[in-house]
């Protein structure tokens, strides 16, 4: 039973979703443990939506501790096909200013020690990940951003670092030399897991500050960053109100067939436990 077609994962400062009606709170149990927090399932202007704060309400989980597999799995079992992720980032490019928004088009993975696949222990799959974000969903985000008067950059490379400490100056300079546009700690492994779960995935990155490479960085105070963060959260909230009702029911992208040619394990060798564990992902490919 589909309970929500659109999922939203809120980042730092975004712990609820305005305008949600008929709200039900669910605590999904998953084979990958508990989710970051309860999921609020409701309706926003006629669209069934599920919302979860990535770090838990009260910001209890650091980026390494976020149970991304449980989170994405739980959204999958609710029927989510579009996953919109919101998060704060630092800018590695002069033209991307604090308070701007970015829908990244590329990722560089500098995380380690985070489980990044559903496919292990009895079943192997290799998804295509050349373009990690759904261009259609990101296009809808851009349209919504324009409608609410936000400045949004439609391309950019998001470097995902492990954290929780921020970069050194040498690292920041190196990431810039790699062509990274923004830096944060949360788009991975979410994006990989969303692709494995055949969901469209788009990330709304809101810039709080220039990273340490910038000559003006030493003038940045915690107060300033928190002020920017608060305003960014307000903009993200307005954007989501505009975006969610504009998402069409039908999908015309390849995201919904990401697993079609990706499962490497011969069907007779897939462990029964793996089949059972990944039933929400594998059911449609089950051969009788």
| Closer of 96 and 191 to Zn ion (Cβ) | 191
Q: Give CA separation, 203 vs 17, 22, 102, 106, 200, in Å.
A: 16, 26, 8, 11, 10
CB 42 → Zn ion: shortest distance, Å?
A: 23
CB 257 → Zn ion: shortest distance, Å?
A: 10
Total length of the chain? 288
Query: Which residue from 134, 180, 240, 281 is in contact with Zn ion, where contact means CB under 5 A?
Result: 134
Query: Is 37 one of the catalytic residues?
Result: no
Query: DSSP character for 263?
Result: B
Per DSSP, what are the bridge partners of residue 206? 88, 101
- Residue 255 binds Zn ion (CB under 5 A): yes
- Residue 200 binds Zn ion (CB under 5 A): yes
Query: Is 209 one of the catalytic residues?
Result: yes
| Closer of 226 and 253 to Zn ion (Cβ) | 253
Query: Which residue from 170, 253, 257, 264 is in contact with Zn ion, where contact means CB under 5 A?
Result: 253
| Closer of 114 and 136 to Zn ion (Cβ) | 136
CB 200 → Zn ion: shortest distance, Å?
A: 3
Choose the stretch contacting Zn ion; rule: CB under 5 A; options: 17-25, 132-140, 145-153, 279-287.
Answer: 132-140
Structure tokens at 282: 């594998």
Choose the stretch contacting Zn ion; rule: CB under 5 A; options: 130-138, 142-150, 184-192, 221-229.
Answer: 130-138
37, 131, 209, 218: which one is catalytic?
Answer: 209
211, 218, 219, 261: which one is catalytic?
Answer: 211
Burial of 69-104, coded b for 16+ CB within 10 Å and e otherwise, reads: bbbbbbbbbbbbbbbbbbbbbbbbbeebebbbbbbb
Q: 170: buried, middle or exposed (CB in 10 Å: 19+, 13-18, 0-12)?
A: exposed
Structure tokens at 120: 């292990």
Cβ atoms 41, 26 nearer than 8 A: yes
Instruction: Measure the CA–CA gap between 254 and 195, rounded to whole angstroms.
Output: 10
Choose the stretch contacting Zn ion; rule: CB under 5 A; options: 134-142, 173-181, 205-213, 236-244.
Answer: 134-142
Number of residues in contact with Zn ion under rule CB under 5 A: 4
Catalytic residues: 209, 211
Residues within the interface to Zn ion (CB under 5 A)? 134, 200, 253, 255
């Amino acid at each position: 039973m589909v309970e929500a077609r659109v999922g939203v994962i809120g980042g730092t400062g975004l712990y609820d979703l305005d305008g949600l009606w008929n709200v039900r709170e669910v605590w999904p149990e998953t084979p990958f443990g508990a989710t970051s927090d309860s999921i609020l399932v409701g309706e926003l202007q006629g669209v069934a939506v599920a919302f979860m704060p990535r770090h838990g309400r009260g910001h209890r989980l650091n980026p390494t501790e976020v149970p991304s597999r449980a989170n994405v799995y739980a959204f999958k079992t609710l029927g989510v096909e579009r996953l919109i992720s919101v998060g704060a980032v630092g800018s590695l490019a002069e033209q991307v200013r604090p308070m701007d928004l970015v829908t990244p088009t590329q990722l560089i993975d500098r995380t380690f020690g985070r489980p990044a696949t559903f496919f292990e222990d009895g079943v192997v799959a290799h998804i295509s990940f050349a373009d990690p974000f759904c261009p259609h969903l990101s296009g809808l985000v851009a349209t919504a951003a324009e409608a609410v008067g936000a400045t949004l950059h439609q391309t950019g490379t998001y470097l995902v670092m492990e954290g929780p400490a921020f970069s050194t100056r040498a690292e920041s300079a190196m990431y810039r030399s790699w062509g990274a546009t923004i830096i944060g700690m949360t788009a991975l492994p979410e994006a990989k897991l969303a692709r494995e779960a055949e969901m469209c995935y788009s990330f709304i990155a809101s810039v709080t500050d220039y990273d340490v490479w910038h000559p003006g960085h030493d003038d940045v105070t915690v107060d300033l960053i928190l002020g920017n963060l608060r305003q960014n959260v307000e903009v993200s909230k307005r954007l989501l109100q505009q975006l969610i009702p504009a998402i069409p029911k039908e999908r015309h992208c390849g995201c919904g067939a990401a697993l079609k040619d990706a499962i490497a394990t011969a069907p007779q060798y897939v462990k029964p436990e793996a089949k059972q564990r990944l039933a929400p992902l594998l059911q449609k490919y089950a051969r009788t």
